[in-house]
Amino acid sequence: MITIPDNSSDKTIAKLPPKSGGNKFLQTINVILNPVSSLEKSQKRYGDIYLADFSSLPSQIVLSNVQAIEALFTADAKILESGSGSAIVEPLIGPNSLILLDGDRHLQQRKLLMPPFHGERMRAYGQIIRDITQQVTNQWTVGGNFVARSSMQDISLQVILRAVFGLKEGERYQQIKEVLTQMLDTFNSPLSAVFLFFKSLQRDLGAWSPWGKFIRRRQQLNELIYQEIRERRHHPESQGDDILSLLLSARDENGEEMTDVELRDELMTMLFAGHETTAIALAWALYWIHYIPEVREKLLQELNSIDVANADPSVITQLPYLNAVCSETLRIYPVVFFSLPRILKAPMQFMGYDLPKGTMLSVCTYLTHHRPDIYPESKRFRPERFLERQFSPYEFLPFGGGNRRCIGSAFALFEMKLVLATILSNYSLELLDTVPLKPVRRGIAFAPNGGVNLKVKDKFSR
């Protein structure tokens, strides 16, 4: 479905998909502040392949057509690039991040970073995840209230600090935890997230200006990360099975090690991509489990069939209904609404359209997950749909796809399942939010409005 056309004798005018109309600036603001209604209206009006024109972002073809997604995700990576299309996240993670790399460099880094997130290395983190979950939830009191996203952020950040940095409790551990949380909170509302989308707003006007505050927090975090890198380089005997240790010992084909700056950018990528996203997904899961009593009852019945506290992590993560609940959570409101974009490196014929070099194509996960032909009653949370049929990677894509699929997807699901099983087998919770929650922008991600407010009804003694 993707071919490079021979244009030597082709005199026809390039045929592009339908273009969304209206004021560019208003369209941009609308998609930032009201993404769900904005995307749904555009799809209804222009179809599942349309050209969106923005004032601060590149024009892009928005895809929610399954055949088009398959064609894009299976296309030869040599005719597409992606890094330059993700420039919006560069201030957060740095230019040497896997997300912003292309070609051989992207392939090398991907091969290097994948092993810790799979197989035995990943499973070794199972007990750490359960211990951290117990430690954080032990702070809950019967009759007391808590915000799910904040508690889940605490858990996921501690897991990342242990798995990625190999850090245990201590001064630097606490400092990184506090500064990173403050950095993320810089863009914790749809309005403050606007700074990521408009370069003209990214000006340091002093410590009290939004961007100035972000820059200073980022510098603080950089210093802490560089301190850790330098100490670990000088004390190789302290290296363990964490990801930083792996990266420090890695060498390229010329025998060169990664620079401190390259290390910093990859670590920042994992801190952002592997922490905030998992915390939001867990908050959504706790919301849906307690919003729909039947879901909670079915899940508790399944969890009660095993000894969660002593079971091997693999037994927990293979529970079918728990897996279905996690999948449906990631389907109905994916944490990120778009997968990483692709940019054409040459003119191409794609799904009947003649696209010029430089065209950006963006797969809209949210719209794809709400196609009525694939997901009947798509606005209804119904985990059973994942027990009734298998969805292709072009129909269900919460972690993106192709050669840009999130390398931490297996780890994220592993963590989600262990955290949920640990919480639900120890606590009886009650949802305090009385109106249905909707996703609101938090940086480039989408979190439940208000963070999901829960009450601890009971704690079970084990």
Query: In the prediction, which pLDDT does 412 show?
Result: 92
Give the residues across from 455 on adjacent strands: 145, 430
Closest CA to 275 of 328, 335, 233, 219: 335
Count of Cβ atoms closer than 10 Å to residue 234 Cβ = 8
CA end-to-end span of the chain: 57
* Domains defined for the chain, CATH in brackets: 2-459 (1.10.630.10)
Give the residues across from 342 on adjacent strands: 361
Count of Cβ atoms closer than 10 Å to residue 173 Cβ = 17
- Residue 92 φ then ψ, to 5°: -85, -40
Closest CA to 197 of 32, 27, 361: 32
Query: In the prediction, which pLDDT does 35 show?
Result: 86
459 burial level (CB within 10 Å; 0-12, 13-18, 19+): middle
- Residue 370 φ then ψ, to 5°: -120, 20
374 contacts 395 by C-beta, under 8 angstroms: yes
Query: In the prediction, which pLDDT does 462 show?
Result: 52
Q: In angstroms, what CA-CA distances link 204 with 100, 123, 199, 200, 207?
A: 24, 43, 12, 11, 8
| Residues 400-416: tens digit of each pLDDT | 999 899 888 999 999 99
- Which residues in the chain land under pLDDT 70? 1-14, 188-193, 461-462
Query: In the prediction, which pLDDT does 4 show?
Result: 47
Query: In the prediction, which pLDDT does 13 show?
Result: 44
Q: Which residue has the tokens 């010992």?
A: 249
Classified as helix, coil or strand, 133 is helix
44 burial level (CB within 10 Å; 0-12, 13-18, 19+): exposed
Give the residues across from 147 on adjacent strands: 453
Query: In the prediction, which pLDDT does 289 show?
Result: 98
Query: In the prediction, which pLDDT does 25 show?
Result: 82
**What letter does residue 202 receive in the DSSP assignment?**
-
| Residues 254-267: tens digit of each pLDDT | 788 889 999 999 88
Query: In the prediction, which pLDDT does 7 show?
Result: 44
Closest CA to 188 of 229, 150, 137: 150
Classified as helix, coil or strand, 264 is helix
Amino acid, res. 213 = K
Q: In angstroms, what CA-CA distances link 86 with 252, 336, 338, 362, 417?
A: 25, 13, 11, 11, 29
DSSP H helix total and E strand total for the chain = 20, 13
Q: Give the list of residues 6+ apart from residue 234 with CB closer than 8 angstroms, or none.
A: none
Give the residues across from 440 on adjacent strands: 447
Count of Cβ atoms closer than 10 Å to residue 280 Cβ = 28
